[in-house]
Every structure is written in structure tokens, then in C-alpha cells.
């Protein structure tokens, strides 16, 4: 009797041990699958960001707020932030309005044309950065075809593509396709019957748009605005290629401080980067607060 129970005990012990080994092996194999990715992710995504955050508080090898003080006291830097914010907000709003009008119109066309138009927009969404800046110089430069056309028609005296109006135009251009592609699926929530119902109740098209369509779409519109805003405030290639870094925006300042050939100050660049990220974070938080107000749409 006792011999039998002993052997059972040892069996259990053996069993437990092999279970533990198995568990360890399992954990090891999980680690083996996850570790390589995490290593590269930490090295090339997380560490650079941590470096930026830490070194923005380092001035002449000591922890201080000096970099931030320098930022807020420099008119040149605050101007860069003003320009960036202006470009980001205005270009996002213009692109949103154009996208809303465009989607509203293509919804009235038949399926095939709709698909072709959306594919076309998708292709245009790839046209940004350096190639876009070149194209803009060709059509809107001093001797650009569109500049000459408008001049001949007597509409303008000349157009300075390297000034704020020209840069705003290029920002609006690369924001429009993104706005359309992001907002287009949201319009599926708007039912055609609602339009008929609103009309039966005596609403005009304008009232219908203001009281029904916009509130239903509001969460998507604000969400799209956040992405457009982040896209514009972080944009660098287009404005750099267009003006060779002569127009004062935040990203151009950052790049000049880490890779320029006149004056390098990576820690100041880090401080600008932190402020830039904080601005983006504030917009995201504001957006989620606003969207919460519109939750009733989803609940119904």
C-alpha cells in the first residue's frame, strides 16, 4: 500500500517538475518571439524620444529649464511656433471644408464614377514632399504657368510662392486628399431617408446640413482635424524643399539645430520638439473632450 502511494508521490513530483520546465520553455519561446522586435523598437523609436525628453532639460551639462527659457524669450522661435500653428490650423480647416463639399457632391454620382474619383484622390495623396514642392514651383513660381495665366487675366500682379500664401497653398494641397480619404467612410452614417424626412418636415437643405449632417459627422470631423493638424505641424519636406529652409516654421528650426551648417544646439532642438509634442497632445485631449459631447449620436 505504502509503496504504491510513494510511487504516486514521486510521479506527481516528476509531473510537476516537467510542468514547470514546460512553462519555462513556453515563456522562453514567447520571449524569443517578442524580444527581437522590442529590442529594435526600443533602440530606434523609444530611446530617441527619451533622449529628446531628457536632454531638453539639460543646459551646459546641467539640469535646468534654460532651453525652454531661451525658446520663450526668443522672438525668432515664437514666430516659428506662430507660423506653424497658423499653417496647421488654417490649412486643416480649408482642407476639411473642401473635403466635406467634395464628398457631399460625389455621393450624388453613381458607384463607378465614385470609385474612380476616390482612387484618383488616393493617388494624389502620395504627391507630397519634395516632388510636390517642385511641381508647385513649376506652376506657381515667378514664371509658372498658372501665375502667368492669372496675370494675363489681370487677376493678380504676381504670386510669391515662397511667402506665407504660397506655403499655405502647398499645405492645403497635401491636406485635401488625406481629409477626403479619412472623412469619406464616415459619410456612410448619414442616411438618405433622413434628408427626405427633414424635407417633409419643412427643412431647407441648409437647415438639414446644419441640424442633421454636421452633428452626426462631428466626431469624425474633429478626429480628422486632429490628424490633419498633426500632419501639418510635423510637416517638413515640402516647406524645406520649397524655400530651402528660409521660411520660419518649427520643423525647419529643429532640423537646422541638429543638421544645419551654421549653429548646432541639439538640446535646444530637443526643447522645441518637446513643446511641439505637447501642442499635439493638447489637441488630442481637447478633441477627445469635444467628441465626448457627441456621444449621444453613437448611443442612439
Partner 1 sequence: MSKTNSRLYHNTVISIVIGILLLPIVATFLYSISTRWGATILPDGLTLNWYLKLLTEERFLWSFVRSLGVCFAAMGLCIVLMLPAIFVVYYRLRYLKFICNMIVILPFAVPPVVGSVGLIQIYSDGLLPISGTFWILIFTYFTVIIPFVYRSIVNSLEAINYVDMIDAAKLLGANTFKAFIYVVLPNLKKGLLSAIFISISILIGEFVFANILVGTRFETLQVYLYNTKAVSGHYSSALVIFYFAFIFVFTYLASVFSKVERKSVKRRKN
Residue placing its CB nearer to partner 1 in the complex, 1 or 188: 188
Site string for partner 1, 132-171 (x = CB under 8 A): x-xxxxxx---x-xx-xx--x-------------------
* Spatial distance between the Cα atoms of 134 and 241, rounded to a whole number of angstroms: 8
Residues 26-45 contacting partner 1, CB under 8 A: 29-30, 32-34, 36-38, 40-41, 43-45
Residue 49 CB, nearest distance to partner 1 (Å)?
A: 6
Residues 59-88 contacting partner 1, CB under 8 A: none
Q: What angle do CA 155, 159, 161 make, to 5 degrees?
A: 150
Report the b/e string of 182-221 with b at 16+ CB within 10 A.
Answer: bbbebbeeeeeeebeebeeeebeeeebbeebbeebbbbbb
Residues 275-294 contacting partner 1, CB under 8 A: 276-277, 280
By CB atoms closer than 10 A (0-12, 13-18, 19+), residue 21 is exposed
Q: Which three cell numbers stand for residue 162?
A: 515662397
Residue 226 CB, nearest distance to partner 1 (Å)?
A: 10
Residue 156 CB, nearest distance to partner 1 (Å)?
A: 14
Residues 175-194 contacting partner 1, CB under 8 A: 176-177
- The number of residues that bind partner 1 (CB under 8 A) is 78
Of 6-14, 105-113, 183-191, 192-200, the segment contacting partner 1 by CB under 8 A is 105-113
Contact flag: residue 228 with partner 1 (CB under 8 A)? no
Amino acid at each position: 500500500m505504502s509503496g504504491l502511494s510513494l510511487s504516486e508521490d514521486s510521479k506527481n513530483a516528476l509531473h510537476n517538475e516537467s510542468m514547470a520546465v514546460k512553462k519555462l520553455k513556453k515563456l522562453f519561446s514567447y520571449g524569443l518571439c517578442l524580444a527581437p522586435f522590442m529590442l529594435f523598437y526600443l533602440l530606434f523609436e523609444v530611446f530617441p524620444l527619451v533622449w529628446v525628453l531628457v536632454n531638453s532639460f539639460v543646459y551646459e551639462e546641467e539640469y535646468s529649464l534654460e532651453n525652454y527659457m531661451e525658446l520663450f524669450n526668443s522672438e525668432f522661435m515664437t514666430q516659428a511656433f506662430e507660423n506653424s500653428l497658423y499653417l496647421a490650423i488654417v490649412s486643416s480647416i480649408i482642407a476639411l471644408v473642401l473635403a466635406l463639399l467634395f464628398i457631399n457632391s460625389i455621393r450624388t454620382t453613381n458607384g463607378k464614377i465614385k470609385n474612380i474619383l476616390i482612387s484618383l484622390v488616393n493617388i494624389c495623396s502620395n504627391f507630397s514632399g519634395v516632388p510636390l514642392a517642385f511641381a508647385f514651383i513649376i506652376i506657381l513660381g515667378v514664371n509658372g504657368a498658372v501665375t502667368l495665366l492669372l496675370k494675363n487675366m489681370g487677376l493678380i500682379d504676381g504670386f510669391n510662392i515662397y511667402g506665407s500664401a504660397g506655403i499655405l497653398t502647398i499645405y492645403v494641397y497635401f491636406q485635401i486628399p488625406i481629409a477626403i480619404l479619412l472623412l469619406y467612410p464616415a459619410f456612410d452614417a448619414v442616411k438618405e431617408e433622413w434628408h427626405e424626412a427633414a424635407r417633409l418636415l419643412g427643412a431647407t437643405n441648409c437647415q438639414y446640413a446644419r441640424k442633421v449632417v454636421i452633428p452626426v459627422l462631428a466626431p469624425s470631423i474633429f478626429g480628422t482635424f486632429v490628424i490633419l493638424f498633426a500632419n501639418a505641424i510635423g510637416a517638413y519636406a515640402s516647406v524645406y524643399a520649397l524655400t530651402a529652409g528660409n521660411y520660419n516654421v518649427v520643423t525647419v528650426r529643429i532640423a537646422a539645430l541638429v543638421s544645419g551648417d551654421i549653429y548646432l544646439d541639439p538640446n535646444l532642438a530637443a526643447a522645441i520638439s518637446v513643446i511641439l509634442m505637447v501642442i499635439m497632445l493638447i489637441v488630442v485631449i481637447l478633441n477627445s473632450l469635444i467628441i465626448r459631447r457627441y456621444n449621444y449620436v453613437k448611443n442612439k
